[in-house]
Amino acid sequence: MIEPTLNYVSCPETWSAPGADGALPQHRMAYWDWNPSGDPHCPHVVVCVHGLSRQGRDFDTLARSLLARATQPLRVVCPDVVGRGQSDWLTDPMAYQIPHYAADMLALLQQLQATALDWVGTSMGGLIGMVLAGQPGLPLPRPVRRLVLNDVGPNVQWQAIQRIGQYLGDTGYFESVQAAADAMWLSSTTFGPHTPAQWLALSQPMVKPVAGGFTLHYDPAIAKPFAALTREDAAQGDALLWQLYDQITAQTLLLRGAVSDLLTPHTAQEMTQRGPKAWMVEFPGVGHAPTLVAQDQVDAVASFLLA
């Protein structure tokens, strides 16, 4: 079975003061590199970016499927956004915000040197993708060619933000990986039906060992800027995201869980009529957010990216 390699990119902390040498502090962002050819200049790169409290191994099933179906050389890169997975934790918790994540992704894209760049973003990863694809003046090595927004749009429902805030930051303690998987399922049933084996595979990279047991992989401080968000802040963010969305020129696929509480039918429909006029696919019995493990979800993404 194809497996990814773990790599790192150094990212400048643009919100920090320079050191005595005039250089900005750096942190490392990890990324999982699915590159069976081993060619560092593989021309077609798909970058897959996870949701708020997740990590890059969420895309294992999708990556394997894309590589199996591709008729031309393909590389799939799945970063652990800073504060998650194998990436560094930030000393300033208020830097855990979309603009800083987008800056990190620019550093990663410069390192990848793709000639054809596609983006798959689940929830937070989709917001980062909109920031990058919706600003023509950004120093991207290549414009985003095809963009997949997985259950996210310019308007994020306040009720969903409140729901996520109820569990974000509680990294817990578990006696086993299975116990952690069982606990995570209680707050993740909106992901839709999964077999026990599928859910355990998704859960294993979500934990790390601690003395005598396991805890969730991420820095609990990622919850601090989230908790400080007000309804007014969210509304202002929505207005900015619509501006960005309207400037996107990439071919865009919008995935929506049919019972999502984060992406409403109204917002999704509007996204098909303005900006890049996304093509939308809905998945019945799924909320926020599709995990891209079920065959119909994988097929939708693969058909779009590899057409």
Tens of pLDDT along the chain (307 residues) come to 789 999 999 999 987 777 777 788 899 999 999 999 898 889 999 999 999 999 999 999 999 999 999 999 999 999 999 999 999 999 999 999 999 999 999 999 999 988 899 999 999 999 999 999 999 889 898 999 999 999 999 999 999 999 999 899 999 999 999 999 999 999 899 999 999 999 999 999 999 999 999 999 999 999 999 999 999 999 999 999 999 999 999 999 999 999 999 999 999 999 999 999 999 999 999 999 999 999 999 999 999 999 9
Q: Is residue 206 one of the residues assigned to a domain?
A: no
C-alpha torsion 289→253→243→155, nearest 10: -30
DSSP state of 96: -
* Encoded tokens for 178: 């299975």
Q: Which long-range contacts (CB under 8 A, 24 or more apart) does 155-158 make?
A: 155/238, 155/241, 155/242, 155/264, 155/267, 156/234, 156/237, 156/238, 156/262, 156/263, 157/261, 157/262, 157/263, 157/264, 158/231, 158/234
Q: Is residue 171 one of the residues assigned to a domain?
A: no
8 A C-beta contact, residue 93 and residue 224: yes
Q: Is residue 119 one of the residues assigned to a domain?
A: yes
8 A C-beta contact, residue 270 and residue 166: no
Q: Is residue 162 one of the residues assigned to a domain?
A: yes
In this predicted structure, what is the pLDDT of residue 273? Answer: 98
Amino acid found at 237? G
Q: Is residue 222 one of the residues assigned to a domain?
A: no
* Encoded tokens for 62: 């999708």
8 A C-beta contact, residue 257 and residue 290: yes
CATH number of the domain bearing residue 46: 3.40.50.1820
In this predicted structure, what is the pLDDT of residue 181? Answer: 97
* Encoded tokens for 35: 């590159």
How far from chain centre, in Å, is Cα 127? Answer: 8
Residues forming beta bridges with residue 29, ordered by sequence position: 9
- Pick from 29, 3, 55, 49: nearest CA to 184: 55
CA angle 210, 212, 216 (to 5 degrees): 35
Q: Is residue 221 one of the residues assigned to a domain?
A: no
Q: Tokens 């410069």 — which residue? A: 110
Helix (H) or strand (E) holding 245: helix 231-246
Domain extent, residue 139, equals: 5-166+235-305
Q: Is residue 268 one of the residues assigned to a domain?
A: yes
Strands 207-210 and 213-216: antiparallel
Q: Tokens 């590199």 — which residue? A: 33
Overall number of domains in the chain: 1
Q: What pTM was computed for the model? A: 0.96
CB contact set of 121 (below 8 Å; sequence gap of 6+): 48, 49, 127, 128, 129, 130, 147, 148, 149, 150, 152
Q: Is residue 211 one of the residues assigned to a domain?
A: no
8 A C-beta contact, residue 258 and residue 284: yes
In this predicted structure, what is the pLDDT of residue 218? Answer: 98
Reading phi first (left if > 0) and then psi (alpha if -120 to 50, else beta), residue 292 is in left
Number of H helices, E strands in the chain: 10, 10
DSSP state of 306: -
- Pick from 278, 286, 138, 288: nearest CA to 296: 286
